[in-house]
Amino acid sequence: MLLNQIVWSIDPVIFQIGNFQLRYYSLLFALGFILGYIIVKKIFERENIPIKELDRLLIFVVVGGLAGARIGHCVFYDWAYFSQHLLEIILPVRFQPEFQFTGFAGLASHGGAIGIIIALILFVRKSALKNYLRILDFVAIPTALAGALIRIGNLMNSEIYGNETSLPWGFVFVNNGDTTASHPTQIYEALAYLAIFAVLLILYNKNWKKKQHGFYIGLFLILVFVFRFFIEFVKQPQVAFEASMTLNMGQILSIPFIIIGIGLLIYSLRKKNPDSASESGQRND
């Protein structure tokens, strides 16, 4: 019954001045990075790591994450188009059929994960913090929170939602012309990522002295991408070619991350890691 469903018609634009728009998605995306910075700063202070390293780390994570997410979308989901329009991968415009400012409409979380991993490799090469897995652990904890905020941003944009449902909490996304309810998979994912963030933070607060390098990033990859794998079964295809696939692109890309996560978790539990403070040889400024 329609009365048992939620009619969703939120305007994704908070306010507009001329051609400038502030969208909920952009605000929540930025909030994810801000909260992540605050959380990692607390971790650095606890671990006696120079705070000056954090500013450089933030730059690498932001640039790597955004670049990876953009390139990942273009390569994994729409390479047939972007292979013929390479400049549109890095420019927020569309040249055909006519010139249009589009913004970077298309970001893939799997690509973002790859981008951050590569960016942190480059960061460690020029940093006093030489334990790569430990840095990944630091970043993994707030990344789950940022993922939840981004999915709420997707909800505000009425995008990336699920198949039709008769469940009483189904959402009718009227901004897209829908008249039937769909699974609000953005909310499912946001709640899952919030729970993962809470688990990682609680475990870190209880066990941070053990220095099990790779434990938190391993657990993060397993939990996030196992959930992502299963939630894709009730999601609408993101691109047309997924309709004929047994497993969609999101599921296929999730499998390597799950395997890597399992490997990191086993490694971290088997290996005794030295104290990270003694590794870096640094204390707070």
Give residue-wise pLDDT tens across range 149-190: 999 999 999 988 999 999 989 999 999 999 999 999 999 999
| Dihedral sign, Cα of residue 223, residue 229, residue 235, residue 241 | positive
Q: Is residue 230 part of a domain?
A: yes
Whether pLDDT at 125 is above 80: yes
Query: What percent of the chain has pLDDT above 90?
Result: 44
- Supply the range of the domain harboring residue 236: 2-10+21-92+102-240+247-273
Say whether the peptide bond before residue 97 is cis (omega within 30 degrees of 0): yes
Query: Binning pLDDT at 50, 70 and 90, where does residue 227 land?
Result: very high
Whether pLDDT at 87 is above 90: no
Q: Is residue 283 part of a domain?
A: no
More confident residue, 110 or 163: 163
Q: Please compute Rg for the chain using Cα positions.
A: 20
Q: Is residue 259 part of a domain?
A: yes
Q: Is residue 282 part of a domain?
A: no
pLDDT mean over 198-225: 91
Mean of per-residue pLDDT scores for the chain: 85
How far is the C-alpha of 166 from the C-alpha of 61, rounded, in Å? 40
Q: What is the pLDDT of residue 2?
A: 47
Q: What is the pLDDT of residue 110?
A: 79
Query: Binning pLDDT at 50, 70 and 90, where does residue 101 land?
Result: low
CB 248 within 8 A of CB 201: no
How far is the C-alpha of 157 from the C-alpha of 140, rounded, in Å? 26
Question: Which amino acid, 75?
Answer: V
Q: Is residue 192 part of a domain?
A: yes
Whether pLDDT at 284 is above 70: no
Give the number of domains in the chain: 1
Strands (E) across 128-236 are located at 171-173
- Whole-model pTM over 0.75: yes
Q: Is residue 16 part of a domain?
A: no
More confident residue, 232 or 111: 232
Q: What is the pLDDT of residue 189?
A: 96
Question: Which amino acid, 174?
Answer: V
Q: What is the pLDDT of residue 242?
A: 75
Q: Is residue 258 part of a domain?
A: yes
Tens digit of each residue's pLDDT (9 = 90 or more) over 38-75: 999 999 999 888 888 888 888 888 888 888 888 888 88
User: What are the percentages of helix, strand and coil residues in the chain, rounded to 5?
Assistant: 65, 10, 25
Q: Is residue 130 part of a domain?
A: yes
Whether pLDDT at 281 is above 50: no
